[in-house]
Amino acid sequence: MSLFLTICSSALVFNWRLKFIRTLNNFILIKIDETEYKSYVSKPGLVVVDYFATWCGPCNMIAPKLEEFSDQMKDVCFIKVDVDVLPSIADAESVRAMPTFKFFLNGKEVKSVVGANFEIIQQAVLANKP
């Protein structure tokens, strides 16, 4: 039974990621290196970075809420960083738990949230967006 759940869970994450890439305009889910990452977080305005892992239950649970919220916040850039694919970025940003959300305003980190508490993430976006 647990093998079946693991396989189904992986398939759901995979399908979600494909849907995610196709449907969102202001969410960026791509493979990047450290230089490209730095160019994204230093953009003018508010940039929200979601450091996640595909195996992380809370990451997968909050993802649909973030997707919906990002559709409403057209002036905020949302970026997802898979910590297993980009461990050097996770290390450089001192990410130790998933999900971790960091908020960059005009290139400077202004807030960090650890955990999948959507209300706190939403409040941080609304408090820091220009």
Active-site position among 47, 48, 49, 59: 59
Active-site position among 41, 47, 53, 56: 56
Q: In angstroms, rounded to a whole number, what is the distance separating the alpha carbons of residues 74 and 117?
A: 21
Buried b vs exposed e over 3-28: b needs ≥16 C-beta within 10 Å? Answer: eeeeeeeeeebeeeeeebeeebeebb
Active site residue 77: no
Query: Tokens 């949230």 — which residue?
Result: 113
Q: In angstroms, rounded to a whole number, what is the distance separating the alpha carbons of residues 32 and 9?
A: 25
- Residue numbers annotated as active site: 56, 59
